[in-house]
A and B are shown apart, each in its own frame.
Chain A
Amino acid sequence: MTVIQTKNLKKVYNPETIPVVAVDDVDLAVEEGEFTAVVGPSGCGKTTLLNMIGGLDQPTGGTVSVGGEEIGRMSQSQLTDFRLNNIGFVFQSYNLIPVLTARENVEFIMLLQKCDKAYRDKRTLDILEKMGIRDQMNRRPAQLSGGQQQRVAVARALASSPKFILADEPTANLDTKATESLLDIMAQMNKEEKATFIFSTHDQRVIDKAKRVITLEDGRIISDENR
């Protein structure tokens, strides 16, 4: 089943003054359960592509469909709801809510989804257990290492049972050990929870783990390799 479909997707910054084409005519289909890396040099349009797929940025042209639903026509409010229920985000610098504990951070997304308490508690503990950080659940982000914070971020992204997870350079701030550990966990989640992952990265360790590697250059897909 196709989870993400883009057609002629285009993003031009400053179209009226000095146009900068960030994404140029990208056609892409991502199937359920994929573990995909979008790679390329800095400035090739990876983050812009992910932002448009995630409904964070509006395309200049073309369409993005998620689960068959075109998101370009949605209002900002509808998009926020859509992201909440369909997309999990993992950012480069973890971006947990600093005043909430690891457990509360994971639970927070389900509170936004208005899930009942029993479900929230079970889901939170299950995911934290799978991520191997249940023993750290009552600590705030500042009391966790970078690797642990990123695991909490992945747990938060998974907690809402999204159709797919967008991870923008998730290992950029992690050391080798933490990176490998995180990738193993994400691969395990991909397998066990059938979670679809799309990464933007230029970290070779991530690329090596990916089942599909899409290479961008100057906003265009120059290769799309299934492994």
Chain B
Amino acid sequence: MSLTLYMKLGWRNIWRNRKRTWITASSIGFAVFFACVMQSMQLGSYDRMIENSVRFYTGHLAIHEKEYWDEKILDNSFSLSGLQDLDITNGRVEVSVPRLTSFALASYGEKTKGVIVTGIDPEKEADLTFLDDKIVRGEYIRDWGVMIGEGLSDYLKADVGDTVVFISQGYHGVNAAGKYPVVGILKFPVPDLNQAAAYLSLGQAQSFFGAEGLVTSFSMLLHDQEELFVAQSEISTSLASSEMTIMNWQEMMPELLQGIELDYYGGLIMIYILYGIIGFGILGTFLMMTKERTYEFGILTSIGMKKPKIQVMVAFEILMLTFFGVGLGLIASFPIILYFYFNPIRFSGEAAAAFENFGYEPIMPFSMDPVVFYNQGIVVLIISLFLGIYPMIAIKQLNITKALKE
């Protein structure tokens, strides 16, 4: 028998009972639709969380002095020119930025607040964090002045043109003090940054902290996050003989990775419960399909069709029914996911506040990662094939004379 005939028989057989086929395919389709949308939301929000965190905090990869990560003090900074001598140029890196980060007290009028002062290369930083897009008042920093978060601005009641005083401890314990005019107010989606971020140009920060030529980190953004470990390994080789080390964002922000994993597996449990329910529906169809056709299988065997051929015929039916259901689910979910991929759901009011309290941007982005779609297809296919074992065994154990009496 040819493949075409098996397919013809399979296709026609599944339409023998149209109502049942539609019900089964719809239940499979619904499961796939729901799982795709759910996973797209999950992966989309993870991607956004990673993107936000990586861009604003660490980069995909960051070079530090070896002791820095355990003790984040200026004394554990390193020379930028020393790093440039090592030539860590890597084609996988899209943009790299030097940063000098430490803490300081910011004061304006009668208000004082602890802030994170980051010295940046304004041009490169704009490429990495799109910091220039976050300006809501004033202008993006060039050489002189400070940019502060909107929350900090509100707290200090300092706006563009006001001068803020910074006091801190600099490199090797020197006193650090300086006053800088506010040139721009930044609005970050991440509340922590909004309320505590202050940006100086790298030169100003080095001068303020007494750390000329030094940086605390050299953050890198990769073209492709999938190349994280390869790029880390390659750059690590170049740094082998130095006092510097390279870390990836997963090492630098393990709590983010753990949070994502926890949420991901929680979502998976939901999806598996859904698949379990749908699985029973599919099993019911297979049971009925086998039971009501026992007589027919008996006839086919008696006229000379071998059982393995009947099994192949039924396997085609199962596959077609499954593909049909999966197809329905994918066709239904794709345009919806595509729409929300380009138009993510934006929360407002209390919902937005709740998101921001947890440090998240108040939007629900969707992912178009192909894994969202083929994962569901593969899972449903595996479930169907597993449940398809029942009809296969029933056909193998078919007793012709009993079947003909059905």
Q: B16 near A98 (CB under 8 angstroms)? A: yes
B302 at the interface (CB under 8 A from A): yes
A74 → chain B, closest Cβ, in Å? Answer: 13
Interface string of B11-27 (1 = CB under 8 A from A): 01101100000000000
The contact of A99 among B2, B9, B309, by CB within 8 Å, is B9
Contact residues of A between 78 and 110, Cβ < 8 Å to B: 80-81, 83-85, 89, 91, 95, 97-100, 109
B90 at the interface (CB under 8 A from A): no
Q: A54 near B12 (CB under 8 angstroms)? A: no
Judged by DSSP, the binding face of B is helix
A128 → chain B, closest Cβ, in Å? Answer: 17
Using C-beta atoms within 8 Å of the partner chain, give the interface range for chain A: 20 to 34
The contact of A85 among B9, B299, B304, by CB within 8 Å, is B304
The interface residues of chain A lying within 8 Å CB-to-CB of B296 are: 95, 97-98
B53 at the interface (CB under 8 A from A): no
Q: B12 near A84 (CB under 8 angstroms)? A: no
B5 at the interface (CB under 8 A from A): yes
The contact of A54 among B5, B15, B16, B302, by CB within 8 Å, is B302
The interface residues of chain B lying within 8 Å CB-to-CB of A85 are: 304
Question: Across the A-B interface, how many residue pairs have beta carbons closer than 8 Å?
Answer: 58
The contact of B5 among A57, A89, A95, A111, by CB within 8 Å, is A111
Q: B13 near A80 (CB under 8 angstroms)? A: no
The interface residues of chain B lying within 8 Å CB-to-CB of A81 are: 304, 306
Contact residues of A between 26 and 58, Cβ < 8 Å to B: 51, 54, 56-57
Bound-complex Cα distance A187 to B400 (A): 29
The interface residues of chain A lying within 8 Å CB-to-CB of B1 are: 111-112
B85 → chain A, closest Cβ, in Å? Answer: 76
- Closest chain B residue, CB of each to CB of A88: B303
The contact of B16 among A99, A113, A160, by CB within 8 Å, is A99
Contact residues of B between 289 and 335, Cβ < 8 Å to A: 295-296, 299-307, 309
Q: A57 near B16 (CB under 8 angstroms)? A: no
Q: B303 near A56 (CB under 8 angstroms)? A: no
B256 → chain A, closest Cβ, in Å? Answer: 56
B404 at the interface (CB under 8 A from A): yes
Q: B12 near A80 (CB under 8 angstroms)? A: no
Bound-complex Cα distance A85 to B305 (A): 11
The interface residues of chain A lying within 8 Å CB-to-CB of B12 are: 99-100
The interface residues of chain B lying within 8 Å CB-to-CB of A151 are: none
Bound-complex Cα distance A89 to B305 (A): 13
A156 at the interface (CB under 8 A from B): yes
A-B contact pairs, 23 of them (CB 8 A): A54-B302, A57-B400, A77-B306, A80-B301, A80-B304, A80-B305, A80-B306, A81-B306, A83-B302, A83-B303, A83-B304, A84-B303, A85-B304, A91-B299, A95-B295, A95-B296, A95-B299, A97-B296, A98-B16, A109-B303, A112-B1, A112-B309, A113-B304
Interface pairs A-B: 8 shortest CB-CB: A84-B304, A99-B12, A95-B299, A57-B401, A83-B304, A56-B400, A80-B306, A112-B304
Q: Using A76-B307, A99-B12, A100-B12 as known contacts, list a sample of 18 further A-B pairs with CB atoms less than 8 Å apart, ordered by residue number in A.
A: A57-B400, A57-B401, A77-B306, A80-B301, A80-B306, A81-B304, A83-B302, A83-B304, A84-B304, A89-B302, A89-B303, A95-B296, A95-B299, A98-B296, A109-B303, A111-B1, A112-B305, A112-B309
